[in-house]
Chain A
């Protein structure tokens, strides 16, 4: 009886050791990226783009780059993702599953500041690196999290470029209206815009928020109209941005410029609004046409990694199976893969603390632009561009050194647009 028990115990120990060792060996054969992705729900559009961008860059790393160099060997990347349905409660449970069951090496945050913030404590408590590609809210980086690293730029900077551009284009413009969604991210953008506007000498004549999921902005826009602004900054996410522009047209609210975050840079914005979107601007982290390249990186003394712009677009199309140009949600998520790869190579390890330290020391350029973080993990090396819809095309109008066309200012009125006038410089 005793002999049998001993045999059973020894067998269990042997099985456990085998599993443990085989897992350890297996972990070195691949690096697994875990991701609670927003493939359905309110962020499905941005989530699909992000997944496409990640797949495109993983494809580039595994195929063109040969894998991640670790201990002199090339290790491929693997991508494990689940649909979090754009829901906070799903994010926390899926992160737990990815970390404890799937044993991934790094987790990518879901899209949006709210969801990123919700998942951060889970990754922190598991000492897991949490790469943020879609959460721009600065507050994420004031909570004392050690493992959150941002690729998307901070929310406070979203409208700074737009304000600089209008300040330089029209010194007479003084009255600015701010109307943003009542979300963590958008309120932070508003805070940044207000501070910067005051610094430039603008007068804030209207400042209001509207609730998430709003279906009618008429009361707010009627009040905004009465404040007679020279230009309007606002938005939050895609759906309310569309509504904002549409109901401004309905109420005949005209201004010299209109810039909406998150929405105005997406092709679906123009598809839904057609001529009403002419002249509308939006800040973007990346646009097809930006001039980041290996030679550009060399010029500014930065390390370069990743596919070129057109190569990324081709890989993205292959990843999503559609002939579509990726937007900035895809680019920032893809660039995050490249940042992680470089950090693992520099650390020569995928241990969380070692890679986190390497990320802190990392500065590089990719098709997405510059990449550098501060001590809290906040992105400080990436510059945004401003795009404007001109004759149905997205034109980069700011900063001057990156622009692909001139700014149209003031933009045509909605009555002029209804008669077919387009925004051309």
Chain B
């Protein structure tokens, strides 16, 4: 029974972890290129969740079709906020960009609240279940997991095999050197911020495929916190490191529950969170650039 449960939990954790990883890639990309910590990260996830909800409930569109729509909206939002706000803050003290992204997050929450209201919403996308014996996996979760893996792979290819990706990496290495070599640094910053936000909004779609309830304007806060832990776990400036960090985080969160449940008199769920942050602290102490960082 114990073996069955822990195996089931680990499978669920792996699937959830892939979505957590995806939800952190945007944060890592923006930090890696622009050195900006997006404190409003969760609000962009929330925007993705509302896009899915709206497309599903009003137009009857599958959440899979919401992925390109969310990416387009995210890119546009990214470009908008970059050219109106973030561009001026790249060389400013870190506190300025922290406050700016925090404000953007609040702005988005309140705008969405104004449009959709503050109710907790959800949708019901019934696409069947996969019975694995040790656990039952809804197909929507599986699609979210596969979607996350494909997007992570595409980002990896884009980063390593395209000119734009190479330009982006050169800006990460040395922005002045890249400028001397003819790279449009400002354009690269804008593109990075837009892609980072696009990925984050898409992760909102994938998260609702995993958990299609509790969609509300303030849902992003918890994900922001988790994203920071995962980003550190995977290497703060490494988007695909963040993906693997997400997998590890999902496994820790789900797997440790069963182990903590063996200790009499403790609430295992409370300890799984505790463990996540203990791991974060240990990593920061022994490897401040992140567990999977190459630096």
> How many angstroms between the C-alpha atoms of A117 and B122 in the bound complex?
31
**Residue B284 lies at the interface, judged by CB distance under 8 Å to chain A:** no
What are the residues of chain B within 8 A of A239 when measuring CB–CB? 120, 213-214, 216
**Residue B119 lies at the interface, judged by CB distance under 8 Å to chain A:** yes
In contact, B213 and A273 (Cβ under 8 angstroms): yes
With A226-B5, A272-B120, A273-B122 known as contacts, the answer to whether A251 contacts B135 (CB < 8 A) is: yes
**Residue B91 lies at the interface, judged by CB distance under 8 Å to chain A:** no
Write the nearest CB–CB distance from A52 to chain B, whole angstroms. Answer: 13
In contact, B269 and A216 (Cβ under 8 angstroms): no
Write the nearest CB–CB distance from A19 to chain B, whole angstroms. Answer: 38
Stretch at the interface among B123-131, B144-152, B153-161: B123-131
What are the residues of chain A within 8 A of B16 when measuring CB–CB? 216, 218
What are the residues of chain B within 8 A of A210 when measuring CB–CB? 269
**Residue B258 lies at the interface, judged by CB distance under 8 Å to chain A:** yes
**Residue A303 lies at the interface, judged by CB distance under 8 Å to chain B:** no
What are the residues of chain A within 8 A of B136 when measuring CB–CB? 250-252
Q: Name which of A48, A182, A238, A250 has the most chain B CB atoms within 10 A of its CB.
A: A250
Choose among A209, A215, A238, A247 the residue that contacts B120 (Cβ–Cβ < 8 A).
A238
**Residue A246 lies at the interface, judged by CB distance under 8 Å to chain B:** yes
In contact, B122 and A272 (Cβ under 8 angstroms): yes
> How many angstroms between the C-alpha atoms of A247 and B119 in the bound complex?
19
Report the nearest B residue to A271, measured CB to CB. B121
Stretch at the interface among B61-69, B173-181, B217-225: B217-225
**CB contact list, A73-113 vs B, under 8 A:** none
What 1/0 mask marks residues of chain B from 238 to 265 whose CB sits below 8 Å from any chain A CB? 0000000000000001100110010000
What 1/0 mask marks residues of chain A from 266 to 283 whose CB sits below 8 Å from any chain B CB? 001001111110000000
Write the nearest CB–CB distance from A287 to chain B, whole angstroms. Answer: 19
Q: Report the interface size for chain A: residues with CB under 8 A from the other chain.
A: 39
**CB contact list, A176-217 vs B, under 8 A:** 182, 208-211, 213-216
With A215-B223, A252-B136, A273-B213 known as contacts, the answer to whether A220 contacts B269 (CB < 8 A) is: yes
Report the nearest B residue to A47, measured CB to CB. B118
In contact, B135 and A242 (Cβ under 8 angstroms): no
> How many angstroms between the C-alpha atoms of A242 and B208 in the bound complex?
13
In contact, A226 and B258 (Cβ under 8 angstroms): no
What are the residues of chain B within 8 A of A40 when measuring CB–CB? 110, 113, 118, 218
**Residue B8 lies at the interface, judged by CB distance under 8 Å to chain A:** yes
**Residue A243 lies at the interface, judged by CB distance under 8 Å to chain B:** yes
Write the nearest CB–CB distance from A149 to chain B, whole angstroms. Answer: 28
> How many angstroms between the C-alpha atoms of A216 and B12 in the bound complex?
10
> How many angstroms between the C-alpha atoms of A213 and B218 in the bound complex?
11
In contact, A268 and B118 (Cβ under 8 angstroms): no
Write the nearest CB–CB distance from A70 to chain B, whole angstroms. Answer: 37
**Residue B191 lies at the interface, judged by CB distance under 8 Å to chain A:** no
**CB contact list, A255-303 vs B, under 8 A:** 268, 271-276
In contact, A45 and B253 (Cβ under 8 angstroms): no
Write the nearest CB–CB distance from B143 to chain A, whole angstroms. Answer: 13
In contact, A223 and B261 (Cβ under 8 angstroms): yes
In contact, B213 and A272 (Cβ under 8 angstroms): yes
Q: Report the interface size for chain B: residues with CB under 8 A from the other chain.
A: 42
Choose among B135, B216, B253, B258 the residue that contacts A216 (Cβ–Cβ < 8 A).
B253
Choose among A182, A247, A276, A418 the residue that contacts B269 (Cβ–Cβ < 8 A).
A182
Write the nearest CB–CB distance from A282 to chain B, whole angstroms. Answer: 15
With A208-B267, A250-B129 known as contacts, the answer to whether A215 contacts B273 (CB < 8 A) is: no
What are the residues of chain A within 8 A of B258 when measuring CB–CB? 219, 223
**Residue A319 lies at the interface, judged by CB distance under 8 Å to chain B:** no
In contact, A246 and B269 (Cβ under 8 angstroms): no
What are the residues of chain B within 8 A of A425 when measuring CB–CB? none
> How many angstroms between the C-alpha atoms of A190 and B122 in the bound complex?
27
**Residue A222 lies at the interface, judged by CB distance under 8 Å to chain B:** yes
In contact, B1 and A182 (Cβ under 8 angstroms): no
Write the nearest CB–CB distance from B112 to chain A, whole angstroms. Answer: 11
> How many angstroms between the C-alpha atoms of A373 and B213 in the bound complex?
38
In contact, B120 and A252 (Cβ under 8 angstroms): no
In contact, A246 and B213 (Cβ under 8 angstroms): yes
What are the residues of chain A within 8 A of B5 when measuring CB–CB? 222-223, 226
With A40-B113, A42-B218 known as contacts, the answer to whether A219 contacts B9 (CB < 8 A) is: yes
Choose among A45, A218, A252 the residue that contacts B129 (Cβ–Cβ < 8 A).
A252
**Residue A66 lies at the interface, judged by CB distance under 8 Å to chain B:** no
What are the residues of chain B within 8 A of A250 when measuring CB–CB? 129, 136, 138, 141
**Residue B288 lies at the interface, judged by CB distance under 8 Å to chain A:** no
**Residue B285 lies at the interface, judged by CB distance under 8 Å to chain A:** no
> How many angstroms between the C-alpha atoms of A425 and B89 in the bound complex?
63
With A268-B119, A274-B124 known as contacts, the answer to whether A242 contacts B269 (CB < 8 A) is: no
Choose among A222, A238, A243 the residue that contacts B211 (Cβ–Cβ < 8 A).
A243
What are the residues of chain A within 8 A of B253 when measuring CB–CB? 216, 219
> How many angstroms between the C-alpha atoms of A69 and B213 in the bound complex?
48
> How many angstroms between the C-alpha atoms of A215 and B221 in the bound complex?
11
> How many angstroms between the C-alpha atoms of A223 and B1 in the bound complex?
10
What are the residues of chain B within 8 A of A173 when measuring CB–CB? none
Report the nearest B residue to A218, measured CB to CB. B12
Report the nearest A residue to B123, measured CB to CB. A272
What are the residues of chain A within 8 A of B212 when measuring CB–CB? 246
What are the residues of chain A within 8 A of B115 when measuring CB–CB? none
Write the nearest CB–CB distance from B94 to chain A, whole angstroms. Answer: 25
Instruction: Please name 13 pairs of A and B residues whose Cβ atoms are closer than 8 Å in the assembled complex, sorted by A.
Output: A40-B118, A42-B218, A44-B218, A45-B120, A211-B273, A215-B222, A215-B223, A222-B5, A223-B258, A223-B261, A242-B122, A252-B129, A272-B121
A contact set with B: CB distance below 8 Å? 40-42, 44-45, 48, 182, 208-211, 213-216, 218-220, 222-223, 226, 238-240, 242-243, 246-247, 250-252, 268, 271-276, 418
In the complex, given contacts A210-B269, A219-B9, A272-B121, what are 19 additional A-B residue pairs having Cβ atoms less than 8 angstroms apart? A182-B269, A209-B269, A211-B270, A216-B12, A218-B16, A222-B8, A222-B135, A223-B257, A223-B261, A226-B5, A238-B120, A239-B120, A243-B214, A246-B122, A250-B136, A251-B136, A271-B122, A272-B120, A273-B122
What are the 9 closest A-B residue pairs judged by CB atoms, nearest first? A272-B122, A44-B118, A219-B257, A242-B213, A239-B214, A218-B12, A246-B213, A210-B269, A250-B138
